[in-house]
Amino acid sequence: MSSKKDKWVRDTALLFFQIFSVDYEDEAFINKLLAGGGGNSTLCSTWTHLNGSFVMYRISKNAYSLLIDKLEPNDRNKVILKDDTVYISKKIYKKYHTMFYHNAKGAENRVKVGKFFHFDHNPSNKKVLELLNEKIKMHKDEPGFLDELTEYIKTIQTIDLITVYEDDMRTSTDLANPNGPLSSDERDRLLNTSFYRLQDSD
Per-residue pLDDT for 64 more than 90? Answer: yes
The residue-averaged pLDDT of 141-164 equals: 95
Q: Which of 38-42, 65-69, 110-114, 122-126 has the lowest mean pLDDT?
A: 38-42
* Count of other CB atoms within 10 angstroms of residue 115: 19
The residue-averaged pLDDT of 40-44 equals: 80
What HEC string does the chain produce?
A: CCHHHHHHHHHHHHHHHHHHCCCCCCCHHHHHHHCCCHHHCHHHHHHHHHHCCCCEEEEEHHHHHHHHHHCCHHHHHHEEEECCEEEEEHHHHHHCHHHHCCCCCCHHHHHHCCCCEEEEEECCHHHHHHHHHHHHHHHCCCCCHHHHHHHHHHCCCEEEEEEHHHHHHHHHHHHHCCCCCCCHHHHHHHHCCCEEEEEEEC
Average pLDDT, the chain: 91
Would you place residue 3 in the very low, low, confident or very high pLDDT band (cuts 50, 70, 90)? confident
Domain residues of the chain, as ranges? 3-201
The residue-averaged pLDDT of 30-42 equals: 73
Per-residue pLDDT for 1 more than 70? Answer: no
pLDDT score, position 174: 87
Per-residue pLDDT for 36 more than 80? Answer: no
Q: Which of 36-45, 69-78, 81-90, 161-170 has the lowest mean pLDDT?
A: 36-45
